[in-house]
Structure 1
């Protein structure tokens, strides 16, 4: 089960350390408005359902401290080989093509011990930054 902060499910990007800091920085700058997870390993194995449109999540740093709140704008579960260029580009990580995205993500997930093939279900989550740490952000969406 994912952790919770102020009733919000947490979103941890990448792996602890430099990758997490880099991805969080992209979110805070507005360059990253999408992230992908594996339905089986990131959701079902954790006893979690995919995010819902309108849901707010607490973006956390390596210490699991909330640094921002994001609001989910779209969720799509697709086979790995059906991830679109538009989604891949929304991850804000400088991918040159959807094939580049696929190679990078397959390497990342394989490095975590997860076998990924063209039929593996991927949860594509699009979001917007709803507020960053230090701003007066009500996690329920009320300002």
Structure 2
């Protein structure tokens, strides 16, 4: 089973994972370039992923419901809202993500940068 680790280890990953466990976060974005660098195939609808915490512990299993690749400047509000992180509009989502990729990964993102938009649901029942 493939794994999914959200954000960077520590408080960010803890916060994002808690949003998934609460059912608030049902989507996440990754730069397409990261898949190529890691020689990783895109997820496919129906695939089950193990959500990991900062220590590599499985928190839940997630079922992929949709995967699309779109230019950063065309990510729709419906996706930004599904990320469940409290964005006020798609421009807010874009600012936060561009800053994250720049500050955490040293990547400059333009409106043309391909972004993988992954949607999921919990495949395991909530035990919390």
TM interval, shorter chain, is over 0.9
Which of 2, 13, 27 lines up with 2:20 in the alignment? 27
Q: C-alpha deviations, 1:18-38, integer Å up to 9, x for none?
A: 000000000000000000000
Question: Structure 1 residue 68: deviation in Å?
Answer: 0.5
What's 2:66 paired with?
74
Task: Determine the C-alpha separation between the residues in 1 that align with 2:54 and 2:120.
Answer: 21
Q: How many pairs are equivalent?
A: 127
Which of 104, 110, 114 lines up with 1:117 in the alignment? 110
Question: Structure 1 residue 115: deviation in Å?
Answer: 1.4
Structure 2: gaps spanning 5 or more residues: none
Q: C-alpha deviations, 1:2-46, integer Å up to 9, x for none?
A: xxxxxx111000111100000000000000000000001x20000
Alignment RMSD (CA, Å): 1.4
Alignment partner of 1:109: what SS?
Answer: helix
Aligned 8 A contact 1:66 1:133 in 2: no
Question: Structure 1 residue 69: deviation in Å?
Answer: 0.3
**Higher mean C-alpha deviation, range 123-132 or range 72-81:** 123-132
State TM-score, norm by structure 1: 0.86
Task: Determine the C-alpha separation between the residues in 2 that align with 1:59 and 1:129.
Answer: 10
Task: Determine the C-alpha separation between the residues in 2 that align with 1:91 and 1:77.
Answer: 15
Aligned 8 A contact 1:52 1:74 in 2: yes
Task: Determine the C-alpha separation between the residues in 2 that align with 1:44 and 1:87.
Answer: 23
Aligned 8 A contact 1:75 1:123 in 2: yes
Structure 1: gaps spanning 5 or more residues: 1-7, 136-143
Q: C-alpha deviations, 1:116-135, integer Å up to 9, x for none?
A: 10000000000001116869
- Point out 4+ residue stretches in structure 1 off by more than 4 angstroms: 132-135
**Larger Cα-atom Rg:** 1
Alignment partner of 1:131: what SS?
Answer: coil
